[in-house]
C-alpha cells in the first residue's frame, strides 16, 4: 500500500542529524572522563598530603607542645618557691633587724645614753644663806649630800636622774673637789638642780618623810626646794663609755 511505504522510509534530514550527534556525544564523554580522572587524582593527592601532616608533623608538634607545657609548669613552680623563700627571708631579716633595734634602744635607755622625758620631781639644793646667821664657811653642801639625795630617789623608784645637766649612770662619780663637786668629770657649783623621772608622789614622799633627808639637810641650814612636774626631760649621758679591763664572762 502506498501509505505504508511512505511511513517506513527515513528522511534525508534525519540521517544528517544522527551523523552530527554521535561525534558530539563521544567528545563530551571523553571530556567528562578526563575531568573525572583529574578530580580523583587531585582528591587523592590532597588526602595524601593531609594524612602526611596529621600523622607526621602534627604528632611531632604535639609531643613538643606537651614537653614545653611540662617545662613551663616546672619553671613556674620553681619561681613560686623562690619567691616565697625570698619573701620569707626578707620578713625574717626585717623582723630580726627590728628586734635588734628594739634591744639596742632598750640597752641605750637602761644605760642612760638617750634623753628621756616623763613625770617627776625637781629638787634644788643651795648652801645656807648668810642672812640667817649661818656662816657660809661653817657648812656647805658636800658630795655625800648629793649622794644621799640620789640614793633616796633611786630607792623611791626614780628611772632617770641628772644633776645640773649631768646624767647619773653606772659609771658616774659624785666626788668632792673643793670648792667644787665633780660629776662625770664636770665641775658643778651650787645651786644644784636634781631632776628625777618617776612617780612624783613617791619621790617627794621619800624625801620629805619625817626625820628624813630633807629635814636633816634643813637642820644643817641647806636650802631645799622640791617641785613636782607632770613632764620633765632628763638629758642623756654625753661621754664615751669605754671598758678597758672589764670583759663579759664567756660561758663554756
Average pLDDT, rounded, for the chain: 80
Give the residue-averaged pLDDT of 72-84. 82
**C-alpha cell belonging to residue 243:** 671598758
Give the residue-averaged pLDDT of 57-61. 69
Q: Is the pLDDT score of 70 beyond 80?
A: yes
Placement of cell 646667821 in the chain: 133
Q: First and final CA of the chain: distance in angstroms?
A: 154
Task: Please state, for a pLDDT cut of 90, what percent of the chain lies above it.
Answer: 43
User: How many Cβ atoms sit within 10 Å of the Cβ of residue 60?
Assistant: 10
- 7-48 pLDDT, tens per residue? 444 444 444 444 445 556 555 666 666 666 666 666 665 555
Query: How far, in Å, CA of 174 to CA of 129, rounded?
Result: 24
Any bridge partners for residue 225, and if so which?
124
Give the residue-averaged pLDDT of 79-99. 77
CB-based burial label for 8 (10 Å; 0-12, 13-18, 19+): exposed
Between 131 and 60, residue with greater pLDDT = 60
Segments making up each domain of the chain, as ranges: 9-111, 114-234
Residue 72: band (very low, low, confident or very high) from pLDDT cuts 50, 70, 90 = confident
CATH fold, domain 114-234, is: Alpha-Beta Plaits (3.30.70)
Amino acid at each position: 500500500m502506498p501509505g505504508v511505504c511512505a511511513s517506513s522510509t527515513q528522511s534525508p534530514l534525519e540521517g544528517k542529524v544522527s551523523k552530527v550527534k554521535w561525534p558530539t556525544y563521544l567528545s563530551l564523554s571523553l571530556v567528562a572522563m578526563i575531568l573525572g580522572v583529574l578530580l580523583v587524582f587531585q582528591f587523592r593527592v590532597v588526602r595524601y598530603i593531609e594524612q602526611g601532616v596529621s600523622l607526621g608533623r602534627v604528632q611531632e608538634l604535639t609531643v613538643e607542645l606537651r614537653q614545653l607545657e611540662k617545662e613551663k609548669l616546672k619553671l613556674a613552680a620553681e619561681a613560686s618557691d623562690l619567691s616565697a623563700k625570698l619573701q620569707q627571708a626578707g620578713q625574717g631579716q626585717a623582723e630580726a633587724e627590728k628586734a635588734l633595734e628594739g634591744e639596742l634602744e632598750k640597752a641605750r635607755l637602761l644605760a642612760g645614753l638617750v634623753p628621756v622625758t616623763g613625770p617627776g620631781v625637781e629638787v634644788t639644793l643651795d648652801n645656807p644663806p648668810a642672812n640667817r646667821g649661818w656662816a657660809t664657811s661653817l657648812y656647805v653642801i658636800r658630795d655625800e649630800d648629793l649622794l644621799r639625795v640620789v640614793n633616796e630617789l633611786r630607792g623611791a623608784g626614780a628611772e632617770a636622774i641628772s644633776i645640773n645637766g649631768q646624767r647619773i649612770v653606772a659609771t658616774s662619780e659624785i666626788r668632792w673637789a673643793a670648792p667644787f663637786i665633780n660629776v662625770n668629770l664636770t665641775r658643778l657649783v651650787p645651786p644644784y638642780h636634781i631632776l628625777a623621772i618617776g612617780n612624783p608622789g613617791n619621790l617627794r614622799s621619800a624625801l620629805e618623810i619625817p626625820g628624813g633627808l630633807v629635814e636633816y639637810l634643813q637642820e644643817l641650814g641647806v636650802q631645799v626646794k622640791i617641785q613636782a612636774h607632770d613632764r620633765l626631760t632628763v638629758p642623756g649621758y654625753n661621754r664615751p663609755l669605754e671598758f678597758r679591763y672589764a670583759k663579759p664572762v664567756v660561758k663554756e
